[in-house]
Amino acid sequence: MTRPSVASSGTDPFPGVPLVELRRITKHYPGVTANRDMNLLVRPGQVHAVVGENGAGKSTLMRILYGEERPDSGDLLLDGLPVRFRSPADAIAAGIGMVHQHFLLAENLTVLENVILGAETSRRGLLDRRTSAHALRDLGERYGLAVDPGARIEHLGLGERQRVEILKALYRGARVLILDEPTTVLAPGEVSRLFTSLAELRARGLAVLFVSHKLDEVLSVSDHITVIRAGTAVGEFATGDADPGVLTRLIAGGDLPPAARGGRGGKGPVVLRLDGLRTDAVNAVTLELAKGEILGIAGVQGNGQSELIDALVGTREITAGTVRIGGRDATRLGVRQRRRLGLACIPEDRHRQALALPATLWENVMLGSEDLRRRSRWRLDRAAAREAAGEIGARLGVGAPSPDFPAAALSGGNQQKLVVGRVLRGRPEVLLAAHPTLGVDVGAQAVIWDLLRDARDAGLAVLLVSADLDEVLGLSDRVQVMLRGRLTPALPAGELTRPRLVRLMTGT
Amino acid sequence: MNALTRRPALIALLVLLAVAGVRALTGEALTDSGTVGAALRLAVPIGLAGLSGLWSERAGVANLGIEGMMIIGTVCGAWAGHFHGVWAGVLAGVLGGAAAGLLHAVVTVTFGVDQVVCGIAVNILAAGVARFLCVVVFTGLPGAGATQSPPVTGDVGTVSVPLLAGGAGGGDLLGDLERGGVFLLADAAGLLRGLLHEVSWLTVAAVVLVPVSVVVLWHTAFGLRLRSAGEHPAAADSLGVPVQRMRYCGVLISGGLAGLAGAYLVTVSSGLYQEGQTGGRGFIGLAAMIFGNWRPAGTAGGALLFGYADAVQLRQASAAHTLLLLGAMLAWTAAIAVARRRPRLAAGAALLGAAAFALFQSTGSVPTQLIYATPYLTTLLVLATVAQRLRMPAYVGLPYRRGGA
Amino acid sequence: MMNELAARIRKVPHALAAPALALLLALVVATALLAAAGASPGRTYVTMLEFGARPDSLVSAVNRSVVYFLAGLAVAVTFRMNLFNIGVEGQYRLAALLAAAAGAHLDLPAPLHVAVMCAVAMLAGAAWAAIAALLKVWRGVSEVLSTLLLNYVATGVVAYLLAEVFAAGSTTGSTADLPPSAHLPDLNGLLALAGVTLPGGASLGGAVLGAAVLGVAVHLLLTRTLFGHDLRMSGLNAAAARVHGVDPRRMIIVTMLVSGAIAGLAGLPHLLGTAHHFGLDFPAGAGFTGIAVALLGRNTPLGIAPAALLFGFLERSALILDIEGVPKEIVTIMQGVIVISVVVAHEVVRRAERRRAARLVRARTEPEAAPAPAPGRVP
């Protein structure tokens, strides 16, 4: 595969020694090679995009650059000189700043406190808040990132929080700013505002590393693109010369099979009905879900989807409206009672809500299996649970030698396979699937999608909540979009194009 | 309730009015300078224990071993205090408490053991150590027994504010006002005089520690870093803050404060070590910290409240009985104050007030055995009222290891 | 089935590693302290062992350990759910008082009399624990603080009830003596059947049998019932348990009630077997030893039993130390050191286990393994 060299691609506004160079970086984790002989050149005054699928190795590379991980082999060069980062403190001192995908901001502290933490200015032993606040305000104005220094983080929206994260880096004199999947949590207007700020940063000679898997954004904002697949850099382009088709093929490693489209679900009787449902962040949601179909609720995270799922599961109080499961009014029922009616869920946060990591596989299977509980009344049927765990493990290739292994020992993808296998084994009537393949490697993702499709074909009703366009379009029969707590009317998946879905999700 | 709680001065005035009213009705002076002075003396160990908990929890480490660290403080304080004088005793108490804190830090921060379990274990160990040391070090000395030490040598000394409360230079304005017996004025004067008359130097030191804690924790870089270790260790780590080291600092300071509380008990409160003298104050201190919403000033306020409950128990039986009347009046005032916005809470408060009043009327006095339980019951009541709506450091109780749990 | 058994057996050495380490550390610390205190460590240990190994000492130790076992069970039930019932002390004393008062006024045939007293004790203990449970569920008050504060309140209540209600007018300041039908028989008869005679008039309290039965019952409850499963899951991940139908409030209340009920029984061996009345001199402190024993025994009856025996043995053998001029409080320190080192050792072993399991799993899923990573690079 030819790799177009940077030199031949034309415009390079600030030629010279690259600001940062990663040379032949290799990083192993037990059982997986995250980065293999990876090379990356970063020049000042550029927005350099790093694109690739989930699990391709982008985040690991950035963590190495930021000093959070150390490479097993390879070199890191700054201004042409080799450096070794023992920790983020070293990277910060060298002028590298990182905005993580999941913000690292203390809710109870103010913007100012979060920004100056670790880089405080003191006068006579006491914090000099006034000087710092002044400097912060200056930075904010200069780059269009204004935030109130005295505000508590918990009161800020996601877009404002991201601005604080960027200011954190700039306050420390960052010359290289790494943004890890910055647009996943942003609302429509905030994305363009971010891009404006990035342009300003570029104009002032900073280098911006934009890590993303969203090709369209990358094409619109970057000067330079590096494609990563399976741990290596497989292509480098100046954005102006890049062909989207070529890029897509490089990212996926071949021609993508046509996205499997849903739309085969036949209409059965309605098994889940929501009428004017209201709870925190959810504003009068009405929907109907029938047997044998997958209804996809698409939307950017933070528009009320989590709260909706909580309300349906029973862990959040419903303030108005009703929920009917299989015709029965479940609005005032508890979690266990709803499960007995045939409601099951794949929770959004695997570690926090789906599995007890220190517990064994069979215990985790028991935890989520209503049928095993019902069968044996007050007794704990170990044998049945172990058998079920063994069966799921073998069928889905979960990797543990026996059901007595702790769930923590499995990889993320295998854990999720266990979760999905467990929930489907119980033959529920209605399945709430919240981001079922979030953070899961491509192989496990495919397995899970097949499982869901097969279950749907066998008559399961699935309410799918996802922010992943491929997932929504590939699995759903009908799609509704959740925006600011409200649902758009349902559309057959076959009639939806990707751009149209994006517009609906961003409210444009 | 919110509008009211935001104006502590108003609450103080209302309470004072209630107190004055009770005195008018029953002749029982609930804020006489003697009781208030005792309340202050009893509040100091609780307040120091509360500060101890605060420093540790702000750094992200739950410290349930404060009681044990106080016990170590008492035994070390009594030992050094007997052989080398009072101030040596204070120093030894602080160091002993800090050593116990070091143990807690190593087990929870470095080894990642569950913080609550470790705290309980520290209490068990400390009780054993104290008992052993007492037997080994104190037997044979004059005045000592199997469970108590010989008296501490010397006195910390007290100070009174001149002009107002009988200090150097004469003048006891507040005392005169108190003896005057005027409604509200006498009660307020008694309250103030109790806080300013014959106050131990160690008390002054302890009180000073409150604003010092505020300044250090909220106005220095060290304090910010320590708090970040408790609010979001991952964020702090990503910015180069040494989270484990900050946690160690918090727990060590916590241990030192607990040790100081113990030293106070043996030097000011009683003058010697006695088994069981901490009496659960380590935990009441934690309750004060919770009441104070993890802030030093609030903790001090809570400590005064619990100290007062403790003082009532020690002063006279009739005072405890009269407290019921006061409690009823305060409960009804609270009920009226929130009746419009939170009717259910108001109903509960009114009910509580009625129960307290009924008890007051039906019993001649509170039985002595139950008076002993006053501070603990007060603490429980306060916790039940405030526990839910507070803000604790976000990452307390969760061990931090770089790269995930 | 064989697989499971094999897996369990393989875990035994690991399970013993932590307590063994803890014991070793305690010995080291005790040796140092004894030396510093001027006593000969070697001679102390020998004396303790000699005294402790005498048959009458052993019997006494076993009798003592029954109380610790019961207290430890009570604590362990809540510990498994990350709830901390530190109020066993108050619960068992209050329960013993109420049981003694009730028992003194009843006249029933022996087994029934004892059974009724047990029931009263269990109800009393559960009720006292319920206060803390309700405070937690309704007002979010930490049960660590509330159970502990309630201990002190219980002391006051017990003193009050004793002085004003149950022993009013009595010269001894304690409840009336229990009629013979409430005396728990000792097991010497049974032992004689088995051909064993206890020398020196020692008697093995009947409570041992009762405690054993209760231990088995609790073990079954924790490992073979859905309740026990829910309990464990709530302790490991409360949020996940909730999402899958476990009602946290119900769990808290039921667990505390069960714990309180078991705690209530802890005072009965002494009440029914030895003292036959409740006075202010009723032994205190068992509640806190129960906590230590539960931690040492890793919150399972199988572990708590030997732990209780160990503590009982240590305390009994310590009695001889007074005579020898060695501070017997060395034993309390040993107990404290054991507790701390055991919790540390548990944690260390747990982490090692987790890494080992993860390695095994990854070895299976990635047969063409990448080059072995440098040590310490676990993400």
Neighboring chain C residues of B118 at a CB cutoff of 8 Å? 340, 343
Cβ pair C56, C319 in contact under 8 A: no
Percent of chain B with pLDDT over 90: 44
Q: Which of residues 161-180 of C touch A (CB under 8 A)?
A: none
Mean pLDDT of B192-215: 91
Between B175 and C13, whose confidence is greater? B175
Q: What is the CATH number of the domain that holds B261?
A: 1.10.3470.10
Mean pLDDT of B44-70: 96
Both B289 and B327 in one domain: the answer is no
Distance to chain A for B111, nearest Cα, Å: 17
Please check whether residue B120 lies inside any domain of the structure.
yes
Specify the range with the lowest mean pLDDT, choosing from A252-266, B45-59, B303-317, C267-281: A252-266
C touches which chains (3+ CB pairs under 8 A)? A, B
> Token match 């929930």: residue?
A423
Q: Is the pLDDT of residue C94 over 50?
A: yes
What pLDDT, on the 0 to 100 scale, is given for residue C12? 67
What are the tens digits of pLDDT across the range A22-39? 888 888 876 677 888 888
Between B252 and B18, whose confidence is greater? B252
Q: Which of A367, A402, A415 best tests the C interface by mutation, with the highest count of C CBs <10 A?
A: A367
Both B82 and B142 in one domain: the answer is yes
- Which one-letter DSSP state was computed for residue B198? S
Residue ranges with strand state E in B47-122: none
| Interface residue B106 vs chain A (CB under 8 A) | no
Please check whether residue B382 lies inside any domain of the structure.
no
Please check whether residue B186 lies inside any domain of the structure.
no
Mean pLDDT of C358-378: 50
Both B277 and B368 in one domain: the answer is no
What are the tens digits of pLDDT across the range A110-152? 999 999 999 898 888 899 999 999 999 999 988 888 899 999 9
Kindly list the structural domains of chain A, giving each domain's residue range(s) and its CATH number in brackets, ordered by start: 7-95+175-252 (3.40.50.300), 107-168 (no CATH), 270-506 (3.40.50.300)
Interchain proximity A359–C236, CB inside 8 Å = yes
Specify the range with the lowest mean pLDDT, choosing from A255-264, B100-109, B247-256, C325-334: A255-264
What are the tens digits of pLDDT across the range B320-357? 777 777 888 778 877 777 777 777 777 877 888 888 88
Q: Is the pLDDT of residue C370 over 50?
A: no
What is the span of the domain harbouring residue B5?
1-31+317-372
End-of-domain residue from the set B315, B333, B358:
B315
What pLDDT, on the 0 to 100 scale, is given for residue A266? 57
Q: Which of residues 218-277 of A touch C (CB under 8 A)?
A: none
**Residues 6 or more apart from C276 whose CB is under 8 A from it?**
C177, C178, C182, C183
Nearest CA in chain C to B67: C148
Nearest CA in chain B to C161: B369
Mean pLDDT of C107-118: 87
Please check whether residue B383 lies inside any domain of the structure.
no
Say how far apart CA A23 and CA A44 lie, in whole Å: 18
Interchain proximity A355–C240, CB inside 8 Å = yes
- Which one-letter DSSP state was computed for residue A110? B
From residue A69, alpha-carbon distances to A25, A35, A76, A165, A319 in Å are: 12, 12, 12, 20, 46
Q: Which of residues 174-233 of C touch A (CB under 8 A)?
A: 223-229, 232-233
Neighboring chain A residues of C247 at a CB cutoff of 8 Å? 334-336
Both B366 and B241 in one domain: the answer is no
Say how far apart CA C94 and CA C161 lie, in whole Å: 10
What pLDDT, on the 0 to 100 scale, is given for residue B405? 33
Nearest CA in chain A to C6: A404
Q: Is the pLDDT of residue A18 over 80?
A: no
Cβ pair A233, A39 in contact under 8 A: yes
**Residues 6 or more apart from B102 whose CB is under 8 A from it?**
B248, B251, B252, B255
| Interface residue A457 vs chain B (CB under 8 A) | no
Distance to chain B for A493, nearest Cα, Å: 39
Query: What number of other Cβ atoms are within 10 A of residue C69's Cβ?
Result: 32
Interchain proximity A107–B231, CB inside 8 Å = yes
Reported as a pLDDT band with limits 50, 70 and 90, residue C44 is confident
Reported as a pLDDT band with limits 50, 70 and 90, residue B218 is very high
What pLDDT, on the 0 to 100 scale, is given for residue B388? 65
Reported as a pLDDT band with limits 50, 70 and 90, residue B51 is very high
Q: Angle at CA C342, nearest 5°, toward C336 and C346? A: 155
What pLDDT, on the 0 to 100 scale, is given for residue A3? 33
What pLDDT, on the 0 to 100 scale, is given for residue A416? 93
Mean pLDDT of C286-310: 91
Distance to chain C for B109, nearest Cα, Å: 11
Count A/C contacts: CB-CB distance under 8 Å: 133
Please check whether residue B385 lies inside any domain of the structure.
no
- Bridge partners for A211 per DSSP: A50, A180
Q: Is the pLDDT of residue A257 over 60?
A: no
Interchain proximity C236–A401, CB inside 8 Å = no
Q: Is the pLDDT of residue C227 over 80?
A: yes
Neighboring chain B residues of A96 at a CB cutoff of 8 Å? none
Pairing label, strands A96-99, A176-180: parallel
- C35, C45, C57: which is closest to C202 by C-alpha? C57
Pairing label, strands A176-180, A20-29: unpaired
End-of-domain residue from the set B293, B315, B337:
B315
What pLDDT, on the 0 to 100 scale, is given for residue A86? 87
Cβ pair A327, A333 in contact under 8 A: no
Mean pLDDT of A139-167: 90
Interchain proximity A33–C370, CB inside 8 Å = yes
Please check whether residue B187 lies inside any domain of the structure.
no
What pLDDT, on the 0 to 100 scale, is given for residue C274? 83
Interchain proximity B241–A118, CB inside 8 Å = yes
Interchain proximity C233–A405, CB inside 8 Å = no
Query: What number of other Cβ atoms are within 10 A of residue C139's Cβ?
Result: 15
Q: Is the pLDDT of residue A12 over 80?
A: no
Reported as a pLDDT band with limits 50, 70 and 90, residue B182 is confident
Both B15 and B121 in one domain: the answer is no
Interchain proximity B232–A119, CB inside 8 Å = no
What pLDDT, on the 0 to 100 scale, is given for residue C368? 37
Q: Is the pLDDT of residue A16 over 70?
A: no
What are the tens digits of pLDDT across the range A476-497? 999 999 988 899 998 888 888 8
- Retrieve residue B228's tokens: 């970040």
Q: What is the largest CA-CA distance in chain A?
A: 74
Interchain proximity C327–B136, CB inside 8 Å = yes
Both B261 and B360 in one domain: the answer is no
Nearest CA in chain B to C132: B380
Both B94 and B136 in one domain: the answer is yes
Say how far apart CA A109 and CA A118 lie, in whole Å: 14
Residue by residue, DSSP assigns B102-150 as: HHHHIIIIIS---HHHHHHHHHHHHHHHHHHHHHHHHTTSTT--SSBPP
Residue by residue, DSSP assigns A422-478 as: HHHHT--SEEEEESTTTT--HHHHHHHHHHHHHHHHTT-EEEEEES-HHHHHHH-SE
Pairing label, strands A478-483, A486-487: antiparallel
Between A506 and B41, whose confidence is greater? B41
| Interface residue B317 vs chain C (CB under 8 A) | no
- Retrieve residue B313's tokens: 């128990």
Count of domains for chain B:
2
Mean pLDDT of C47-68: 85
Neighboring chain C residues of B121 at a CB cutoff of 8 Å? 292, 295, 336, 339-340, 343
Q: Which of residues 110-149 of B touch C (CB under 8 A)?
A: 111-114, 116-118, 120-122, 124-129, 131-132, 134-136
Cβ pair C308, C73 in contact under 8 A: no
Which helix (DSSP H) or strand (DSSP E) does residue B57 occupy?
helix B33-58
Closest in A357, A386, A410 to C361, CB measured: A410
Both B12 and B149 in one domain: the answer is no
Both B16 and B104 in one domain: the answer is no
What are the tens digits of pLDDT across the range C156-208? 999 988 888 776 666 767 777 777 777 877 777 777 777 777 766 667 778 88
Please check whether residue B180 lies inside any domain of the structure.
no
Interchain proximity A104–B232, CB inside 8 Å = yes
Interchain proximity C33–B132, CB inside 8 Å = yes
Mean pLDDT of C316-343: 82
Pairing label, strands A430-434, A461-466: parallel
Mean pLDDT of A86-103: 88
Cβ pair A427, A371 in contact under 8 A: yes
What pLDDT, on the 0 to 100 scale, is given for residue A5? 34
Say how far apart CA B152 and CA A135 lie, in whole Å: 55
Compute CA C244 distance to the chain's CA centroid, rounded to the nearest angstrom: 31
Mean pLDDT of C291-299: 91
Please check whether residue B394 lies inside any domain of the structure.
no
| Interface residue C10 vs chain A (CB under 8 A) | no
- Retrieve residue C335's tokens: 């107990």
What pLDDT, on the 0 to 100 scale, is given for residue A149? 93
Say how far apart CA C286 and CA C263 lie, in whole Å: 10
Count A/B contacts: CB-CB distance under 8 Å: 66
Interchain proximity C247–A334, CB inside 8 Å = yes
Both B283 and B346 in one domain: the answer is no
What are the tens digits of pLDDT across the range B76-113? 999 999 889 899 999 999 999 999 999 999 999 999 99
Q: Which of B231, B243, B244, B294 best tests the A interface by mutation, with the highest count of A CBs <10 A?
A: B231
Cβ pair C267, C95 in contact under 8 A: yes
Q: Angle at CA C279, nearest 5°, toward C274 and C281? A: 80
Sort residue C32 into left (φ over 0), alpha (ψ -120 to 50) or beta. alpha
Q: Is the pLDDT of residue C373 over 50?
A: no
Q: Is the pLDDT of residue A285 over 60?
A: yes
Neighboring chain A residues of B217 at a CB cutoff of 8 Å? none
What pLDDT, on the 0 to 100 scale, is given for residue A343? 94
- Retrieve residue C176's tokens: 């009336």
Pairing label, strands A73-78, A343-346: unpaired
Neighboring chain C residues of A64 at a CB cutoff of 8 Å? none
Query: What number of other Cβ atoms are within 10 A of residue C323's Cβ?
Result: 10
Distance to chain B for C225, nearest Cα, Å: 26
